[in-house]
Amino acid sequence: MSPPPAASVAHETLVFERRARASPEAVFAAYVDVGVRARWSAPSPTAAVVYSAADFRVDGVDSFRCGSADDLRFAGVVRYLDIIDGQRIVYSEVITSSGTRLSVSLVTWEFCPEGSGTRLVVTDQVTSFVGQGMIDGSRSGMSGALDNLVAFVDEEIRQS
């Protein structure tokens, strides 16, 4: 398969900000535990994220498949570049489908104390090799996942 033309390359920096009532340590822990992460990371009820490998440490690699729950057509590989417990996660991410590289990203998660809660800032510097649609998908996917994360950690507080 030949690569897509250079004209289809698109770049964008996406910045997401959310506030949670949970502490930075609790929000961070909801990311670290891959079983918990799998519960909130699918951006909608019709989507799914399934992890086949998880190695949360600097130079560790996570592998996953994602897409609609009945068609996990996208494969992702995350390599952790920097981790500061309770404060920051930085990773690179490569998304492919049927062996074709669709996008690469440098993603930074910042867990900032705000009162007794957390201001979460996620910056995704994404390069799409298949045009703007992949960036739009990254935007909606991350936005939905972060909404789910905040709902999850805030529900944990309500139940405790």
Domain boundaries, the chain: 10-159
Please identify which residue in the block is written with the tokens 């045009």: 131
The alpha helices in 10-131, defined as continuous H runs, are: 24-32, 34-40
Cβ atoms 49, 41 nearer than 8 A: yes
Q: Quick one: which of 126, 121, 60 has its CA closest to 95?
A: 126
Q: Classify residue 156 by its DSSP letter.
A: H
C-alpha dist (Å) from residue 128 to 8, 12, 61, 64: 8, 9, 21, 19
Q: What are 11-29's pLDDT values in tens digits? A: 999 999 999 999 999 999 9
pTM: 0.93
Output the CA–CA distances (angstroms, integers) from residue 152 to 24, 81, 102, 136, 139, in the order listed: 14, 26, 30, 24, 20
Predicted pLDDT of residue 3: 56
Three-state DSSP at 41 gives coil
Task: Read off the pLDDT of residues 110-129 as tens digits, 9 standing for 90 and up.
Answer: 999 999 999 999 999 999 99
The CATH code of the domain at 10-159 is: 3.30.530.20
Round to whole Å and give the CA distance between 126 and 132.
10
